[in-house]
Structures are given as structure tokens and as C-alpha cells.
Chains A and B, each alone.
Chain A
Amino acid sequence: MRLKKYLLTTLAIVLSIIYLIPLIWMVLASFQSQKDILAGKWIPSKWSADNYRTILQRAKIGTWFINSLISSSVGTVGIIVICTLAAYVVSRMNFPGRRLLYILSLTGFMIPSQAIAIPLYLMIRKVGLVNNLFGIIIPALPSSMAVFILSQFMKAIPADYEEAARLDGAGELDIMFKIILPMSIPSIITVAVLHFTWIWNDFFWPLIVMTNEKMYTLPVGLVALAGSDVNIRYGPIMAANVMASLPVIVVYLFMQRYLTRGVILSLR
């Protein structure tokens, strides 16, 4: 039994490392010279940060990073505010038309963003939001997924809390802000992490909406960079990849517990 456990542990570690080889290689290659990469080397013959220097000097990677950061964080905060309110309404309030609003809030599930990309682009263009971060942020705000996860969670909070508070003379707003919302924080974090990474990693929409190099987000910028500047070769591209991945990996490592729990939770 013991031996079996050790064998399984070894197998798990070996498989995990094999799985991560592309990532490990990406990091190693970012410290290699062009010559090393073309020779198919693994370990750099001389470790150097030149690739990082090159990319920081030549590319607008800092600007793209800030564009991504602003659109992802402003978008996420907006989603949390708007969708938490809506989720509270459909899960905890009792009024005529509630079922209708619940169904309305889920219609976003049936309309994939690709299906409406063209009319949405024409609309964004008309109101002058092309090459504007709000062109990315605003359409992301009404998220059916966010309302779904949040309302699922809020529904599960027992009504006893609410009734007890009402007996103590608490008003609607007290119940919402002092009882239900603080209790919903795990689901709010889940929604925040999911939506932050979705906006951060989105490719199709920013590719369409951002035509000015200065307004690119990180994913779009990286691809444009790899395709355009012949002087920026593999090493610097890998350095850019490492820089682009670090923030998300850090967020993931910190939020890992919530995220895995959140994925599970969103299914229950």
C-alpha cells in the first residue's frame, strides 16, 4: 500500500513536470541568446537579461500592460457592482416581475459574444469608442455568468438571517449591505477572478476594437510584435511572454483556493 502511494506520487510529479515543459522552456529561452535558441539549446550557455532589456526599449509593452490592467480591473469592478445588485434583486427580493428579470438576466448565455461582434463593433464605432478602453470595458459589464454565480450563492443563504434582522428593525439596505453582501464575499471573489482573467486574456474583441498600436492590450500587442518587427527575435518574444504571464500567474497563485472552489461552486 505504501509502495503504491509512493509510485503514484512519483507518477504525478513526473507527469506534472512533463506537462509544464513548454512553460519551463519559455522561461529558459527568455534568458538565451538568439544563437542558443537557434541551436535548440535548453539551458542558456550564458544567462543574460538582454532580451528583457530589448523588449522594454523597443516595444510599447508597458503601455499595453497598462491598457490590459485598466480594462481588466475597471471592467471587473464594474461587473461586481452592477451584477451584484442585479443578482441580489433576482435572488433575494420579492416583487412582481422577478422571474421575468431573472430570465432576462440569463439571456446573455444564449447569445455568444461572437454572434453579435459585428453589430456591436458598428455600434462602438458609431459612438466613437474605437481605440478607447471603454470600448472593451462597457460591453463586458452585463455578464450573465456573474449574475448566475452570484444569485446562486445568495439564494443559498437562509432566510432566517434576514427575518431576524427585520425583527430588529433593519431596513432593506441594511439587510443588503450588512448581511447578504458580506456573506457573499466568496462568490464575489470567484466572479472577480474569473472575469479579470477573461478580460485580460480576451483576444478577438480587442483585436477588432483597437487599431492604434498605443491602444493594444497585451495579447494583441504581443502578436503584432511577433509578426511585425524582424529585429525583435525569439528571445525577446519569450521575454515578453514571461512578463505578460507573471501578473496572471501571481493572481492565480494567490487566489487559487478561491478559484478552484469557485469553479466547483459555479456548478452547484
Chain B
Amino acid sequence: MTVYNKKKHTLLAYLFFLPFGVLLIIFKLIPFVNSVRMVFYKWDILGTPQFIGFANFTRMFSDKVFLSSLWHTFYFVILTVPPIMILSFLVAVLANSKMHAGGFMRSAFYLPYTLTISVVCLTWALLYNPYFGLISKATKSIGLKTINWLVDPTWAMPAVAITTVWWTMGFCVVLYIAGLQQIPTSYYEAAELDGASGFKKMIFITIPLLKRVHVLVIVTQIIASLQIFGQVYIMTAGGPAGKTRTVMQYIYEQGFRYFKMGYAQSMAFIMFLIMLVFSYLQLRLMISSSKEELI
């Protein structure tokens, strides 16, 4: 290329990138810088921000509600990530096996994932109803005690978790199917020649070769579950007795109901730090898996 052309080429590149770059800076990077600044201020939306140093953080770690909401967030991660991983793996193995209904099964399990959060939560709230909900009908018919799922402090979070697993696992089913389809059939054929059973093939070939998918599912699901807000807001509003109040729910209450912007942002910042580890892992995984095959 001539010097003139090279200049023109570079200019064109920057010109094309400009709209995205400007919007990214205005709507992602500047708010991020502000979010870091805000943690040092006391600010109820109307008055002027008042510099208070690290007081938001000292307050946060003596705030029992914050600490419990932090625990509830982790509890939700524990309740959702392992079942999503195990169930979606099993469903994917079945949907990918040599039989007719594979495509149907994949669609059936993916369908809930396309639904809006309100639809999912309002429908499940009714299913959980202890008086006329389908779940209590079912448990009654097999002689179990009726649980008032969303009102019982022990069961409210598991109930929210069950709904979430149902709603979101279809996405991971697709990931696992993608991974399964990349395992060369020759591996299984070789194992069959050695007389390996279906169970052994699963343990020694399928599960280890899907390592990258397992890691990807774990990381993306941890990120998603740490951010849990909508399900709790809609189904329990953080109750009963604050037993389902997660960090995002508490941030919402402090920030957008009581307008304690600095304090709410400090909690958001802690969440950001926790999630940073997983976001970094996710990015690394995506970039490296883009260079190689998925497995």
C-alpha cells in the first residue's frame, strides 16, 4: 500500500470504530469510573455528595442485613449451579443419543429459557401455592406434607432456586450438546473394542473430554447466579423475614427505594470485585476456546 492509502485505511478504521468506541466510553467506562468514585461518598440523591472515605465499607461489614444478603447470594449459587450442571449434562447426553426425539427434547428444554422472567416467576408463584397449586396437589397425592414454599423461611430460597434451574438450564443443555458433538466417535469405537461398558465410556471418555464445557458452564452460571435479582424481587420480594434477600435485592432497596446511592454503590462494588474473578475466567475461556475446538 502507498503511504497515502495507508493513512486513508487507518483513518477509515478509526472512523468505523468511532460510534462503538464513543458509546462504550460514555455508557460503560465513565459510569465505571464514577462507580469507583462513588464508594467514598455519602449521597442521598438530592443533597450534595459528602466525602466519607472508607466509612461505607466499615458500615457494610457491620451491617447484618448486608452480610446475610451476601450469604443468601452464595447460598443461591450453591443451590443452582451444581443441579444446573448435572441435569443439563444428563439431558444433553440423552438428547444426543441415537434415537428419534433428540431435536424435540432439546427444544423442549430450551423453550423456558426464551420466556420473560415475569412470566416464569408469576406462573411458578401460582404453582407453589399451597392451597391450589399443582405442586401441593402432587405432593399431597403421594402423601407428603404440604409446604408453603414461598412463605416458609426454610423453603423460600430452594423454591426460587428450583424455578431458576427450570428456567435457565436449557442454555447449558445446548452448550453440552455442542461439546458432545465434537467428541470423535472413534474414541467410543476404540473403547468398545476393548469391551468398555456404557458407564465406563461415560466416566473415562465423555466426562473428561467435556472439561472445557464443564468449566464454561460453572463460570457462566456462577456469574448469572451471583447477579440474582428478578426472581427474588417478583416471587418473594426478599421475604419471608429477609430469608431470600440477596445482595442485588439489598442494593435495589438501598439505592432505589431509600436513595442511599453511595452506600448502595459500595455494595455493588464489592459484588463487582467478587465477580471480577469469574468474568476474567469467562473472558479467558472464550478467547482460548475461540482458538481451539471447544473440547
Interface residues of A (CB under 8 A from B): 5-6, 8-9, 11-13, 15-17, 19-23, 25-26, 29, 37-40, 81-83, 85-86, 88-90, 93-98, 101, 104-112, 114-123, 138-139, 141-142, 144, 147-148, 152, 172, 197, 200-201, 203-204, 207-208, 218-220, 222-223, 226, 234, 237-238, 241, 244-245, 248-249, 251-252, 256, 260, 263-264, 266-268
Contact = CB atoms under 8 A, between A and B. Distances in A.
19 contacts: A8-B98, A8-B99, A22-B123, A22-B124, A22-B127, A38-B131, A104-B24, A105-B24, A112-B227, A114-B268, A117-B255, A120-B27, A144-B24, A148-B286, A172-B9, A201-B115, A220-B118, A223-B234, A245-B116
B81 interface: no
A103 B280 CA distance: 13
Contact of B119 (A85, A148, A234, A245): A245
Given A19-B109, A104-B21, A115 B100 contact: no
Contacts of B264: 118
Contacts of A252: 110-111, 114
Contacts of A114: 227, 229, 248, 251, 268, 271
Contacts of A245: 114-116, 119
Contacts, number: 276
B91 to A, nearest CB: 7
Interface residues of B, number: 95
Contact of B114 (A96, A197, A208): A197
Contact of A94 (B9, B19, B91, B102): B9
B19 A16 contact: no
B236 interface: no
Interface in B255-290: 255-256, 261, 264-265, 268-269, 271-272, 275-276, 279-280, 282-283, 286, 289-290
A39 to B, nearest CB: 7
B98 A5 contact: yes
